Structure 1
Amino acid sequence: MVLTDKLGRTVNYLRLSVTDRCNLRCMYCVTKDFQFIPHPNILRYEEMLRLIDIASTMNIGKLRLTGGEPFARKGFMDFISNVMVQHPEMDLRITTNGTLIEPLVPDLKKLGVSRLNISLDTLDRATFKEVTGRDHLEDVLSTIHACLSAGIRIKINAVAMKGINDNELNSFIDFARENPLDLRFIEFMPMGDDTKSDSRFWSADDILEQGRKYAVLKKIQVKKENHGPARMYSIEGGKGRLGLISPVSSHFCSTCNRLRITSDGNLRTCLFSDRTYRLRNILRSPALGDDALRKVIAAATRDKPLGYHLLEQRSGCKGVCETQMSAIGG
């Protein structure tokens, strides 16, 4: 079965959140009145493996495990191992904040994990604490260097925020110049009940214009399946590359190829839409089998919306959906 929507887009990429728990409290991800999902509502690893089994029969070839912070969940390393054993054909990626995993890098390498995405919005210790609520910058930097030494490829994801990290672009470019990694800026997205998104917005075009004051940046052609919607640029004389992801200023809805499943078993077909399809009750029903799950996933995919239409309809500075990022998995 090939998952295709009414607009002719083919879906082959699944983002699966294994937990909504996180040891950081990032300003764009967690609001002060946030409440964790009750533990009984979180999918068990066995249920997640069943969903991955089903996805593999529906042309899903790329799997990203996210959180919250996935390594904050007990037993996550065993879960990675089971996924790798049962689905060696899957292109498995993991997104992490990098604060907990330096001791685990050798084991990740042995399991066959070859790529990690690490969230890092600043290279300044004080700003890191301001953004995340925790003083863990050195832990993240140590993890990055440990991964590179082990031969694990790294993509750094930095949320671009005016007034927060827009004064660090030169430092970020130097970091990418000195290290063989991809450093990608992602435009700040108006999610949840955040009313400051417009004042924080720092566009990809502005980043590129400013970045060219610090380095010779040349656009390079990359395979979409490897870098998704990122526009990639080489840094003259550098080991790494700069990437720009523009979900707000220059949307890529026409080529969106992904689905998301939250840690409590809700299927979301668009990051900007609050419409969900409940899979948990089907997973836990002895009367319903895998075919019922396939039918729901296929039907949901057919109605996959265009996210930029939802952006255009938002009111003032109001977030484009009511669900905050920590509950979705990014």
Structure 2
Amino acid sequence: MNELIDAHGRNVTYLRVSVTDRCNLSCRYCREKDMPFIPHESILRFEEMEDIIGLMAEMGVRKLRFTGGEPFVRKGFMDFLRRIRQKHPRLGLRITSNGTLLGPHIEALKELDAMMNISLDTLDRARFASITGKDLLPDVLENLRRMAALGVRLKVNTVAMRGQNDKELPALAALAMEHPLDVRFIEFMPMGEGSIWSESLFWPADEMLAAARRHWELIPCDEANRNAEERGPAKLWKLRDREGRLSAGRFGLISSVSHTFCTTCNRLRLTADGQIRTCLYDDGEWPVRDTLRTQGLEAVRRVILDAVASKPLGSEILARSKGPVAIKRMSAIGG
């Protein structure tokens, strides 16, 4: 029986775990180059994450996503994944990565049946280096090619910014024409201390949809054919080009600002420093790291239940805001 039902009747079944706030890139919308990292002793140990994940699986969580920072910069991450898969074979396993460090791990990720989300905001090499601080686009594209060829379940996520990468929508979406993957464009969210978000950079999903329709016929995907585990905030379409070819993959939009999906939100976040966060737009956090270290796992259960009971509607927070919401940077939250 699921214990994780909030005051709005939403059933929490999805846990996002940030395994580190460290990253080998410095994407402008995520973190600044000189921002301090969380001290090592404040980061959850893998064993502690395993305990919390086991507890939350008992409480009704069915889907896990591991994020960062960049999860593959943390030593021992692949061994940790193997233990999670062995202990919880029925949990849906997801990983969000920048794609630069995946080369040695692709075959293992296929064996673990892990779905990969790759953050990729441009196909222009110079722009990639400008956005991320490193000239690593060829590595990402080669790893994408290898994963697609091997049959790794794959999504590409693009944070859409007007005047920055809006002209690249056709090229990025065309990845779905050739490969069996989802290319999803995400509205730039106004959050995080020092965020570069502004009205001038915000590109709403309705305008992205219109831009896509100038290049392809868009065929809506039947939501009824997606199982509950696979359903998420993205609206998805198959693409048909002017020659009548149907895409191998899908084009998607995530309207996290203009058309929020907060009324159906089913997720909690476990931050890199061991806090439960119930809403991306709200800085309210519940301390599970210190509770686990001083009081044990049953005390953590009570903290989680209290957190879920107070889970807000992010759309209401966003509506009240005049600018960026929340202070904690995205790299520490895990997105």
User: TM-score by structure 2 length?
Assistant: 0.95
Contact 1:114 1:151 in 2 (8 A): no
Specify the alignment match of 1:282 in structure 2: 291
- Aligned residue for 1:235, secondary structure, equals strand
Distance, in Å, in 2 between the alignment partners of 1:180 and 1:106 is 18
Distance, in Å, in 1 between the alignment partners of 2:198 and 2:104 is 36
Contact 1:273 1:310 in 2 (8 A): yes
In the comparison of the two structures, how many residue pairs are matched? 325
- Aligned residue for 1:3, secondary structure, equals coil
Q: Which region of structure 1 is more displaced relative to structure 2, 62-71 or 193-202?
A: 193-202
How far apart are residue 31 of structure 1 and its match?
2.5
RMSD: 1.2
1:271 matched to 2:277? The reply is no
Residues 32-58 of structure 1: CA deviation (Å, up to 9, x unaligned): 552100000001100000001101111
How far apart are residue 227 of structure 1 and its match?
3.7
Which of the residues 307, 311, 323 maps onto 1:304? 311
- Aligned residue for 1:284, secondary structure, equals helix
Residues 128-166 of structure 1: CA deviation (Å, up to 9, x unaligned): 111111111111111111111221011000001111110
Distance, in Å, in 2 between the alignment partners of 1:114 and 1:3 is 24
Residues 224-279 of structure 1: CA deviation (Å, up to 9, x unaligned): 53141100011112111100001100000100000000011011000000000011
Contact 2:234 2:253 in 1 (8 A): yes
- Aligned residue for 1:141, secondary structure, equals helix
Specify the alignment match of 2:235 in structure 1: 231
Distance, in Å, in 2 between the alignment partners of 1:197 and 1:108 is 37
Residues 70-119 of structure 1: CA deviation (Å, up to 9, x unaligned): 00000001000000001101111111111001121112223x23411110
Structure 2 residue identity aligned to 1:63: L
Contact 2:197 2:324 in 1 (8 A): no
- Aligned residue for 2:248, secondary structure, equals coil
Q: What is the aligned-residue identity percentage?
A: 50
Specify the alignment match of 2:262 in structure 1: 253
Contact 2:188 2:197 in 1 (8 A): no
Residues 211-231 of structure 1: CA deviation (Å, up to 9, x unaligned): 000111111123353141100
Structure 2 unpaired stretches of 5+: 241-245
Contact 1:42 1:263 in 2 (8 A): yes
Specify the alignment match of 1:53 in structure 2: 54
How far apart are residue 196 of structure 1 and its match?
3.4
1:116-195 equivalences under 5 Å are 116-192=116-192, 193-195=194-196
Distance, in Å, in 2 between the alignment partners of 1:127 and 1:7 is 42
Distance, in Å, in 1 between the alignment partners of 2:273 and 2:113 is 25
Question: Structure 1 196/60 Cα, relative in aligned 2: closer, same or farther at 3 Å?
Answer: closer
Specify the alignment match of 2:243 in structure 1: none
Distance, in Å, in 2 between the alignment partners of 1:307 and 1:178 is 36
- Aligned residue for 2:229, secondary structure, equals helix
